[in-house]
């Protein structure tokens, strides 16, 4: 715990057998619960998660990265989380920052904290492909302009959230694909949550997950669409469910399309 707040780390996983153990081994002892949601992997991810003693939830088919996160947050809330850290289990981001990020939320400094690969100028040196770096900078500038923020990047997969934020945002209105991340930050801005950042070194290597060029283009177009929807809703021109106060919210532990505690895992 930090400041009497229960800290839960969630790992949205898909074919993470080669990097999962390295990621988990570096998590700090202050983490109260670490749970993994497997999006119907075809490798040994679930079996390794079981050996590591993680709480494991397995989708009955591959639903996508966005749906994986929905399950992560739903189960974190059901586990009594006050602070939730979403960390990719591909070892691209250092787990050693969990303490710093969780503390900023637990002490009420921010409602969401992002591990930024851009602050400190480490992204390219860490191996980020140049085309992804250029796209990251362009999309971030575009979003800052319309969302009224000054973030260094919106596209990191390392984030810490407060329980209140996760219970408030209409996350069930979001995409099942990668643009879920961006929709979530746009929702944070729309509903007035405080967003902070910390510098996070990153490393790209063969085993680290990364979407290909065509999916990157699809993601980029989705980011621009989300940003324009935000602007149109703010101006009162149109209304969208992703920014609606009546949008569908998470209900802890309510989903039925995945199995709790798959064979070979412990459920804590």
Q: Could you report the per-residue pLDDT of 150-198, keeping only the tens digit for each?
A: 999 999 999 999 999 999 999 999 999 999 999 999 999 999 999 999 9
Is pLDDT of 258 > 90?
A: no
Average pLDDT over residues 60-80: 96
Percent of the residues in the chain that have a pLDDT greater than 90, as a whole number: 82
Backbone angle region of 121, left / alpha / beta, with phi > 0 → left and psi within -120 to 50 → alpha: left
List, for residues 237-248, the tens digit of each pLDDT value.
999 999 999 999
Cα–Cα distance measured from residue 115 to residue 196, given in angstroms and rounded to the nearest whole number: 9
User: Any residues with CB less than 8 A from the CB of 42 and at least 6 apart, and which?
Assistant: 15
Show Cβ contacts of residue 146 under 8 Å, excluding neighbours closer than 6 positions.
227, 228, 230, 231
User: Domain spanning 7-243: which superfamily?
Assistant: Spore Coat Polysaccharide Biosynthesis Protein SpsA; Chain A (3.90.550.10)
pLDDT at residue 208, as a whole number: 63
Q: Report the percentage of the chain scoring pLDDT > 70.
A: 94
Residue 267: its pLDDT value, please? 37
The C-alpha atoms of residue 24 and residue 11 are separated, in whole angstroms, by 9
Whole-number Cα distances in Å, 127 to 19, 85, 136, 244, 248 = 17, 24, 14, 39, 38
Predicted local confidence at residue 210, as pLDDT: 62
What is the pLDDT at residue 266? 35
| pLDDT category of residue 207 using cuts at 50, 70 and 90 | low
Give the count of beta carbons closer than 10 Å to the beta carbon of residue 137. 14
Q: Can you tell me the distance from the alpha carbon of 103 to that of 138, in angstroms, rounded to the nearest whole number? A: 31
Average confidence (pLDDT) over 129-142:
93
pLDDT at 203 over 90: no
Torsion over CA: 83, 261, 14, 179 (sign): negative
Question: 147 near 65, Cβ under 8 Å?
Answer: no
Determine contact, residues 22/1, Cβ cutoff 8 Å: no
Q: Which of 189, 192, 187 is nearest to 244 (CA)?
A: 187
| CA 183 to chain CA mean position, Å | 11
Which residues 6+ apart lie within 8 Å of 101 measured at CB? 85, 113, 115, 158, 159, 160, 198
Task: Locate the domains of the chain by residue range.
Answer: 7-243
Res 78 pLDDT > 60: yes
SS3 content of the chain, % helix, strand, coil (to 5): 40, 15, 45
Over the chain, what is the mean pLDDT? 92
Distance, in Å, from the CA atom of 96 to the CA atom of 115, rounded to the nearest integer, reads 11
Out of 14-18, 116-120, 227-231, pick the least confident: 116-120
Mean pLDDT value of segment 24-39: 97
Tell me the C-alpha distance between 262 and 171, whole Å.
25
Let me know: does 10 contact 86? Beta carbons within 8 Å. yes
Model confidence at 209, pLDDT cuts 50, 70, 90, reads low
pTM assigned to the model: 0.92
């Amino acid at each position: 715990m930090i400041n009497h707040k229960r800290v839960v780390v969630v790992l949205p996983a898909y074919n993470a057998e080669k990097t999962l153990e390295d990621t988990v081994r570096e998590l700090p002892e202050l983490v109260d619960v670490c749970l993994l949601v497997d999006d119907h992997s075809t490798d040994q991810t679930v079996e390794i998660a079981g050996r590591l003693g993680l709480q494991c939830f397995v989708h009955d088919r591959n639903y996508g990265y966005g749906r994986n996160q929905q399950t992560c947050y739903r189960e974190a809330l059901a586990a009594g989380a006050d602070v939730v850290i979403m960390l990719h289990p591909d070892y691209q981001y250092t787990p050693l920052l969990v303490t710093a990020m969780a503390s900023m939320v637990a002490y009420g400094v921010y409602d969401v904290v992002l591990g930024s690969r851009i602050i400190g100028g480490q992204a390219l040196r860490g191996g980020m492909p140049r085309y992804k770096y250029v796209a990251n900078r362009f999309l971030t500038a575009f979003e800052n302009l319309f969302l009224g923020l000054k973030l260094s990047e919106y596209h990191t997969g390392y984030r810490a959230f407060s329980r209140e934020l996760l219970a408030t945002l209409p996350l069930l209105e979001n995409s099942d694909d990668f643009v879920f991340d961006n929709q979530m930050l746009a929702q944070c801005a729309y509903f007035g949550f405080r967003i902070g950042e910390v510098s996070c070194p990153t490393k790209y290597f063969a085993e680290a997950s990364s979407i290909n060029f065509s999916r990157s283009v699809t993601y980029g177009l989705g980011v621009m669409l989300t940003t324009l929807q935000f602007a149109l809703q703010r101006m009162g021109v149109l209304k969208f469910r992703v920014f609606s106060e009546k949008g569908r919210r998470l209900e802890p532990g309510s989903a039925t399309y995945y199995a709790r505690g798959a064979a070979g895992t412990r459920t804590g």
